[in-house]
Homo-oligomer: A and B are copies of this chain.
Amino acid sequence: MPDESKRVLWESEVIVTDLIGRLIEFWGFKRNMGRTWAVLYLSPEPMGARELQDALQLSSGAVSMTLNELLRWGVIKKVWEPGQRRDHFTAEVQLWKMVSRVIAEREQKEVAAAIESCEAALRSLAGKLASSDAAERKRAELQRQRISALLGLARLGGQLLQALVSTAKVDAEALSRIELSR
């Protein structure tokens, strides 16, 4: 077996790994999570931690942490290659499934927190609405309206996400058909 471990990424792979890295970073994850996923996504066979380390020029520790995080998000899978020595990894290729799960899990949490904060703020405002100080009462009234609008927006956002995740299941077909035809 020749020196398989030192394979250099193609230009197409560099472009895509960087792209995914930037995008993923933009969405609040670590750049290396995106880069790692992308390398696996473009690899015909599952890859081991060592190969990833070479491909991406990362430290052993970084690879380990990154892989665990990706596993936790369910966007890569462990694979028991027949004879191989250690765990190898493949990317989840059903893109929409992946994206919608991540959105569902993470963004919905944000939305819930936002709704709760708005409700807490409205509760805290209740006393001020009956204040004897007219100016204070007026200010409180304005805030009640504005915070209610925020609350409405948060709820609407939640519904949109819900819709997006449902839609994903439908629209995914077009994409997954591409994926299935190896």
A residues adjacent to B (C-beta < 8 A) = 10-13, 15-16, 18-19, 23, 26, 28, 41-42, 44, 93, 95-96, 99, 110, 113-114, 117-118, 120-122, 124-125, 128, 138-139, 142-143, 145-150, 152-153, 156, 160, 164, 171, 174-175, 178-179, 181-182
Contact = CB atoms under 8 A, between A and B. Distances in A.
Given A44-B139, A114-B23, A12 B146 contact: no
Q: Is the interface of A mostly helix, strand, loop or mixed?
A: helix
21 contacts: A12-B147, A13-B143, A15-B117, A15-B121, A15-B124, A16-B118, A18-B117, A19-B118, A19-B121, A26-B110, A28-B28, A42-B142, A42-B147, A44-B138, A44-B142, A95-B149, A145-B179, A145-B181, A152-B178, A153-B175, A156-B171
A42 B96 CA distance: 39
